[in-house]
Amino acid sequence: MRAFSTQVRQEQHVVIYVTNDVDRQNTLLGPSKQFPFPGDVSSKIAFDLAHEEAKISRNLNVPSVSIGEILEESTNKVMRAPSNEDNELATKKVELTAVECPRLLRKDLKELFTGIDLSQRDVCVLNLTQKTDSDMSAWSVEMEIERMQLTSAFIESATAICNALHRFGYWADFIDPSSGRPYLGKFTNATLFETDDRYRSLGFKITDLGCCKILEHALWGTNAFVGTIFTDAPVNSEAVSEILAKVNAD
């Protein structure tokens, strides 16, 4: 007669702890390279391959091409004046300036760019100003349409500039003019709109009309649209100098 045990059988489940795993991507974008099978399951080959690819990407050398060549790879829709050495700045359509991040603005960067420690880094502010046909202080259908077009143009240009800086090993992000928040970084409740008083420290005039605030450019007055890029590339670095030369010369 066979004897049966009343002791509850316990199964030991194998648990594998993974260290230094890559960040999970949005599942809507497809399966993770590290865990390609349903249920977040991976084979040893797939797991090792994902880590090997990550290792290779981290060890890539700095590109040998110039900033200008990188910017040429991207389509830039910002309207620029025809090339003419005799043109005055006031007749141009675009101006890019670079300044060290003012102390008044620097203290707020940790709320603006969450997850990025900029306390011990050089921070450069690039302001891309586009001259407008409409007066930005007076609302109209034409002004609203132009503002939407300039916002789209700035986002495309700023993305190209940030990508170029990233490829040279620098951090860079820019403020989405429509939301006042970082375009590439994590979501934050902190905002920086172009009519913020902190823009005074960047060389612009902010006027309070009571119902709203307006920004004024030194030459173009209220016919100006400003977009702002932040980077830890020093103001006098070769990368920033090449970007300034490329944008302001075109």
Encode pLDDT of 203-234 as tens digits.
999 988 877 888 999 999 999 999 999 999 99
Mean per-residue pLDDT, 180-207: 92
Please report how the helices 238-249 and 141-167 are oriented relative to each other, as an axis angle in degrees rounded to 10.
140
Lowest mean pLDDT segment, chosen from 41-50, 116-125, 161-170? 41-50
- CA-CA-CA-CA torsion for 95, 176, 25, 116, nearest 10 degrees? 80
More confident residue, 93 or 124: 124
pLDDT given at position 138:
87
Average pLDDT of the residues in 173-200: 94
Question: Between residues 192 and 139, which one has the greater pLDDT?
Answer: 192
Residue 31 pLDDT more than 60?
no
Close Cβ partners of 161 (under 8 Å, ≥ 6 residues apart): 71, 126, 172, 174, 229, 243, 247
Place of tokens 């110039």: 66
pLDDT at residue 75, as a whole number? 39
The answer to whether the Cα torsion of 109, 110, 114, 115 is positive or negative is positive
Q: List the structure tokens of 161.
A: 């500039």
pLDDT at 229: 97
pLDDT of residue 6: 59
In the prediction, which pLDDT does 212 show? 83
